[in-house]
Structures are given as structure tokens and as C-alpha cells.
Amino acid sequence: MTQEVNVKQTITLLRRLQESDLEIEQLNHKIASIPRKKDVLNRGLQQYIQMVEQEENRLADSRKERRQLEHSLEDHNLKDARYADQLMQVKTNKEYRALLTEIEQLKAKIREIEDKILDLMEESEELEKSIRWRKKKLEKKKQEVEAECHRLEKEEEALNHQLETKEAFKSELQDKLPLELLEQYNRIKSVRHGIALAEAKDGFCQVCHVRLRPQVYYDLRANKSILLCDNCHRFLFLREDEVVDPTKLM
């Protein structure tokens, strides 16, 4: 009876240890994901800031180009006025026609500059509207990112507290297990993707799905000893309703 109790208690400890390890793994995964989530938030905010800056740069370039064109337009208008004066002073038809041609070309250039200035004015107006709208949205985004980062920091703090509790509980479980058995558990866990135990049900290992030898399943149901699956070499355990009195198995 004592051996049966010891086997049952040991399996229970191993199962709790396995559950604890899985919970710790999940907590570590959640904790590790928090800096990545914050990074995604901050990168998204930075991208939006860059978008606003790009529009501000385009607006500055547009205004600069418009100023340059306005200066050029002044020069061309002065030149046009000089041509008008010269037109009154020419003495031959040839000179007159030549000057008219130059005046027509100059006026075409003036119209071209004026059209470009109008385009730039429209562009500046649209950019100014867009920048005002984006800056309002940017302030909202900053507040949202700050709030979400604060929430994530609180979540990380809570998760770290849970992790400390789980690790302390795991340490207690480890202290209750024989060192040799604990080392065996850790070896199996390291080569079996973190899963060192497997449920046995209806004569099969529920992890690797291989049928157990009848004697293994019999001994397992009788709680006679701690057993491993012959195929995946994990510790085997049964649910409570499958464990029976050994005398009833005779």
C-alpha cells in the first residue's frame, strides 16, 4: 500500500511540475512579447510622424519654389515692360517683327510661370489642410500609444509577479522529488519539446499514439511503479478513473 501511495504521489508531483513548467513557459512567452508589442506601437507612431514631416517638407519646398517663381515672374514682367518701350523705338519692320516675336515668347513664358504659381498655391493649400488634420490625428495617436504602453508595462509587471510565484511553486515541487527522478524528468523534457509526461488511455500513449504493452498498461493501472512509454520514453500517467485496485486486476 505504501509503495502504491508513493507512486501515486510521485506521479502527481511530476504532473504538477509539468503543468508548472508549461505555465512558466507561457508566462515567459507573454513577457517576451511585450517589448515587441511596444516596439510595433512606437514604430507605427514614428512612421506617422515621418509622414507628417514629409508633408511639411513638401510644403516648405512648394513655398520655396513659388517664391523663386514669383521673383522670376517679376523679372519677366520688367523685361516685358522694357520690350514695350523698345517697341515704340524700332525703326524698321524687320526689327519690329523680331521684337514682337520675342515679346510673344516672353508672354508665353509669363503665362507658364503664372500657371505654375497657381498650381503651387493649390498644392500648398491642400498640404496645409492635410498637415493640420494629420497633426490633430498625431496627438491622438501619441496619447493612444502612451496609454497602451502604460497598460503593457502594468501587464508585464503583473506577469513577472505571476512568474515569480510559479517559479517558487516549481522549486517547492522539485524539492519534493528525488534528485535522480528530477534529472530524468529534465532530460526527457529537454529532448521532447518540453513535454515529459504523457497520458495513457485505452491502452495507448496519448502523445505518440503508440499502443502500450499489456503488462505496462496493467502495471500502470495498478500503480505499481513509475513507467515510461516504450516509444517516446515519456513518463506515463492515468486519469483517476482509470486507476484501479490491483486485486481487481487479478
Cα 141 from Cα 75, distance rounded (Å): 47
Residue 161: give its domain's CATH number: 1.10.287
Q: How many domains does the chain have?
A: 2
Predicted confidence at residue 223, as pLDDT, reads 86
Does residue 116 sit in the same domain as residue 227? no
Q: Taking the complete model, does pTM exceed 0.85, yes or no?
A: no
* 124 and 237 inside one domain: no
The answer as to whether 164 is a domain residue is: yes
Q: Which of 155, 176, 197 is the last residue of a domain?
A: 176
Check whether residue 151 and residue 185 sit in a common domain.
Answer: no
The pLDDT tens digits of the residues spanning 92-123 come to 889 889 989 999 999 999 999 999 999 999 99
Q: What average pLDDT does this structure show over 74-101?
A: 90
Please give the pLDDT value at position 241: 52
pLDDT of residue 224: 82
Q: Are residues 151 and 201 in the same domain?
A: no
Please say which residue of 176, 208, 234 terminates a domain. Answer: 176
Q: Are residues 157 and 52 in the same domain?
A: yes
Share of the chain above pLDDT 70, in %: 94
The answer to whether position 9 is within a domain reads no
Write down the mean pLDDT value for the chain: 92
For residues 193 and 164, membership in a common domain is answered with no
At residue 1 the predicted structure's pLDDT band, cuts being 50, 70 and 90, is: very low
Residue 62: what pLDDT?
97
**233 vs 108: CA distance, rounded Å:** 90
Q: Do 193 and 122 reside in the same domain of the chain?
A: no
Residue 16 has what pLDDT? 97
Q: Inform me whether the pLDDT recorded for 249 exceeds 90.
A: no
Q: Are residues 144 and 208 in the same domain?
A: no
Q: What is the rounded average pLDDT of the residues 26-48?
A: 97
Does a structural domain hold residue 117? yes
**Does the residue 41 lie in any domain?**
yes
Q: Answer yes or no: is 21 within a domain.
A: no
pLDDT band, very low/low/confident/very high, at 21 (cuts 50, 70, 90): very high
Q: Is residue 70 part of a domain?
A: yes
**Pair (47, 170) in one structural domain:** yes
What mean pLDDT do residues 60-82 have?
96
Does 190 lie in the same domain as 84?
Answer: no
Q: Domain range spanning residue 58?
A: 28-176
Rounded average pLDDT over 235-240: 90
